[in-house]
Amino acid sequence: MPQTITRTAGDMVKEAMAGVPAISAEEALSLARSPDHVFIDLRDGTEQAKTGVIPGAVISSRGMMEFHIDPASPAHKPEFNQDKTYVFYCASGGRSALAAKVAMEMGLEPVVNLSGGLAAWKKAGGTLE
């Protein structure tokens, strides 16, 4: 019997985008070297290797993010245990919106989503390493 999907991925991204604060690529450019902000790259390793990452970004693939945030997890990343604003990004903003919503539900704050993701960052003149 075929499955009946009642919520689409698009519906979930739209809901996440409505509930997560967002910043534009232009705003993000001004925060890139801020000691008060941590950029979180949620793309997978092949994407990161192909295009590079925002300088200084923490690598946390979407599949491992919850474990990286959780201080009780053996995979915890101490970068998630700081009094800073977390700027989540992916290729175009959908996965990072979903991830930001979950991170907020876990208690991480403040969290913002980079609208348009890495594509918008590059279009705004952002550099990659």
pLDDT in tens, 49-60: 999 999 999 999
Instruction: Give bridge partners of residue 94 from the DSSP assignment.
Output: none
Domain that holds residue 75: 22-123
What CATH number should be reported for the domain holding residue 78? 3.40.250.10
In a domain, 76, yes or no: yes
Q: Does 13 map to a domain?
A: no
The answer to whether residue 40 is domain-embedded is yes
Number of domains the chain is built from: 1
pLDDT, position 81? 95
User: Is residue 6 included in any domain, yes or no?
Assistant: no
Q: Determine the average pLDDT of the residues in 6-22.
A: 95
Establish if 9 belongs to a structural domain: no
The answer to whether residues 39 and 56 touch, using CB atoms and an 8 Å cutoff, is yes
Task: Let me know if residue 43 belongs to a domain.
Answer: yes
Average pLDDT, the chain: 96
Q: In what order do the strands lie in the sheet with 58-59?
A: 22-23, 111-114, 85-89, 37-41, 58-59
User: What pLDDT is recorded for position 33?
Assistant: 87
What's the whole-model pTM score? 0.95
Examine residue 78 and state whether it is found in any structural domain, yes or no.
yes
pLDDT of residue 1: 83
